[in-house]
Chain A
Amino acid sequence: MQFAFTEEQVLIRDTAREFFNEHATSAKVRAALAAPGGYDRDLWSELLAMGWAGIAVAEAHGGSGLGWVELCLLQAEQGRRLVPSPFFTTTALAAPLLARLGTLAQQAEWLPALVAGGKQFACAVTGATGHPGAAGITAELVAQPDGSYRLSGAADFVIHADSADTLLAVARAPGSVGAQGLSVVVVAADAVGITRTPHVMLDLTRPMCRVEFAAVKVHAPSVLGTPEAAAAELETVLQLARVALAAECLGGAEHMLEMTTDYAKQRVQFGRAIGSFQAVKHRLADMMVAVEAAKSAAWYAACAATESPADLPEAAAIAKSNCADAFFNCAANGIQLHGGIGYTWDHDAHLYFKRARATGTLLGTSAWQREQLAQLMGLGNSASPPAY
């Protein structure tokens, strides 16, 4: 038992921090938000060239074969800088979906391309209303007499779908409900029958689309693994993704705490640095308390993801809810403590605030995570479970 980063992990973190400090400055991030696809393609190419998209992909498929802690270190560093990139979708959704559900042949076909950037994936995993569980999946996969399938229906909140060339979509067998009958299929993003409609999103740093499928043809070899048996692995992938989001939120929360602390030290009112007033000091202290709790939750969950799968459902729910809440707390208080300047478009605080709000909802709100925990604690069924 050693709940501390190894030297290698510290090296990864430090390398990433240095890299993003240089390449994801506020000016560069803001320029990227206005670029097509809403991210910095040059930066993404560099991440691919460094092999970071394959950080947790098996070496046999061109990856580095490292664990979720290493992946989360990169997530946290990007969270600090609000790096807009397909990293999360690629490494924490697409890669584990392919690795856990795909046959060996399917893994060999798609994972090396994912790692090298030959294919860019987007993942339609949340259904048409954004409900974060299997029950929210509405798209249908209908078997055809010739052995192929037709995919119909809609998915929404699909991250970076507009710039992806390949979609991983969850769909259910007609008439199935809940966790029954789920399959994950691979389709070309520009296949006949697919419409991708980008939204104007609250969070400027994570573009999302609504994706509609109108009888899209899916060949049998493009169904990952065994058809209609994806639910268990899909749930694990969503838990892993929640841990990755937790780490990203942690990075954002830490950044807001640091930025606001620095500001409180230099901003003078009434002839004193505002950070010398207890009204300000205690709010910053509370932010730090939240950040430290989030840190413990995020790194425990990242560790459990690789080392202790039985612990993952609980650890992921704890990490996602606490890290997202800490991020929102730090972003909101950060705006308050910056005063008027924090409310402006030109200050970065609102970018973090919006990212915090949206990430809090993504793959399940904190209330939704706590409902999962309540189930795991044996509290039985809720009289009224949260919808998102």
Chain B
Amino acid sequence: MKLGFTEAQEAFRRDCAAWLDTQLSGPFRDIRGVMGQMAMLERRMEWEQALGRERFSAIGWPEAFGGRAATLAEQVIFAEEYARAGAPGRVGHMGIELAGPTILTFGTAEQKARFLLPIARGEEFWCQGYSEPNAGSDLANVRTRAALVETPDGPKWQVNGQKIWTSLATFAHWSFVVCRTEEGTKGHKGLSYLLVPTRQTGVTIRPIRQMNGEAEFNETFFSDALTDATHIVGAPGEGWKVAMGTLAFERGVSTLAQQMSFRNELDRLVAAAKANGAAADPTLRLRLAEAYSGLRIMRYSALRMLSNADGGELSGAAYTYKIHWATWRKKLGELVMDVLGPAGEIAAGAPYHWDELQGVFFSSRSDTIYGGTNQIQRNLIAERALGLPKEPRGA
């Protein structure tokens, strides 16, 4: 076991820190520290492009696709320095963390050539087309369907159906869509993984207003939407395998980037607790310390996963990571309101606007739902990691 870095890696760290500081105290100082999904989107898309130009956007990718072929240690270092610099939350993460790695792993040479550079350069943004009104926890129950049709421009997939909870869809260019391409199939079989352009007449996006008053995610309607016949990742009918691969990427280095926004939230909460005297309260300070512990453990677990410490494909740390962070953040949201006291219940503005700290109380309620609810996570842990008998399924 070894926690430290080599001199060359430390030099890389200094380079990253210097570049980030120059940018964030210069051309991008207006978005330093901006988190959340929807704040200052245009500026943050420009920031993604600045990262792309410097090959910092997807540093683990091969150089040919806009990355730096960075080693694991370098990726960890960049994530740490990114956090330390107070750089804004990434709005390109759907492409960088999910679509890109999926195409890198399962895509054809042509798909890699077509899609990866625009992702790494921040020129094309992505959204995820998984959940449907009747395919939530039971994701394999998707009904959105696609069929190959002949058009004057050649063969195309024609997509019909509805997706829901599509984050960032309003400004995305592409969606990766799990849909049924074999009629009459059920469950995992007969699904395909298509790459569908979202800025076309066959795609309608309708924002959904959430409990926090914002509209970060959307309903996406496909009505004879078209995409090129070649824009399928994996073979027709292999969509489930590819989709599950995408979910596995969520446990990669991106977890370190996610921790940075959690760290930011906890730091703000600690500052608020010191300012209003809650820090001296024996109960609240111990809960703050517990929150700090949980965050540090997230980092240690991420390092374990990245070091492949437990061997094999999915380690215990990977199985438990989602429920750990989601539950942690939900408790943080509750702690925010306890620390702020009555003042926490006054909105930051009309009509119903909440600041980033108060916002944790709301948004954390969705953390234990999206990406696999805590209940589904417990089933997965129990059945796959502990080997307990499977849930009986309905016919």
Contact = CB atoms under 8 A, between A and B. Distances in A.
B148 interface: no
Interface in B344-395: 375, 377-379, 381-383, 385-392
A202 interface: no
Contacts of A317: 293
Interface in A347-388: 367, 370-371, 373-374, 377-386
Interface in B251-288: 270, 273-274, 279-282, 285-286, 288
B300 interface: yes
Interface of B: 1-5, 9, 72-73, 76, 270, 273-274, 279-282, 285-286, 288-290, 292-294, 296-297, 300-301, 303-304, 306-310, 316-317, 319-320, 323-324, 327, 375, 377-379, 381-383, 385-392
A157 interface: no
A95 B310 CA distance: 31
B181 to A, nearest CB: 33
A5 B310 CA distance: 9
11 contacts: A1-B3, A1-B76, A5-B309, A265-B389, A289-B320, A296-B304, A314-B296, A370-B289, A374-B279, A378-B270, A379-B274
A288 B280 contact: no
B288 A377 contact: yes
A254 to B, nearest CB: 10
Contacts of A370: 285-286, 289-290, 293
A10 B1 CA distance: 11
Contacts of A304: 3
Nearest to B328: A293
B389 A308 contact: no
A3 B300 contact: yes
B190 to A, nearest CB: 29
Given A289-B320, A367-B286, A377-B292, A1 B4 contact: yes
A69 interface: yes
A314 B385 CA distance: 30
Contact of B301 (A6, A265, A276, A296): A296
Interface of A: 1-6, 9, 69, 261, 264-265, 272-273, 275-276, 278, 280-282, 284-286, 288-289, 291-293, 295-297, 299-300, 302-304, 307-308, 314-315, 317-318, 321-322, 367, 370-371, 373-374, 377-386
A288 B320 contact: yes
Give the interface SS of chain A, mostly helix, strand, loop or mixed.
helix
A358 B392 CA distance: 41
A90 B7 CA distance: 37
Contacts of B319: 288, 292
Contact of B293 (A285, A289, A373): A373
Contacts of A384: 282
A9 B1 CA distance: 9
A4 B289 contact: no
Contact of A261 (B270, B293, B297, B387): B387
Contacts of A300: 3, 296, 300, 303
Contact of A299 (B1, B282, B289, B386): B1
A281 to B, nearest CB: 4
A314 B295 CA distance: 13
Contacts of A281: 378-379, 382-383, 388
Contacts of B382: 275, 281-282, 284-285
A3 B256 CA distance: 15
Given A289-B323, A371-B289, A2 B385 contact: no
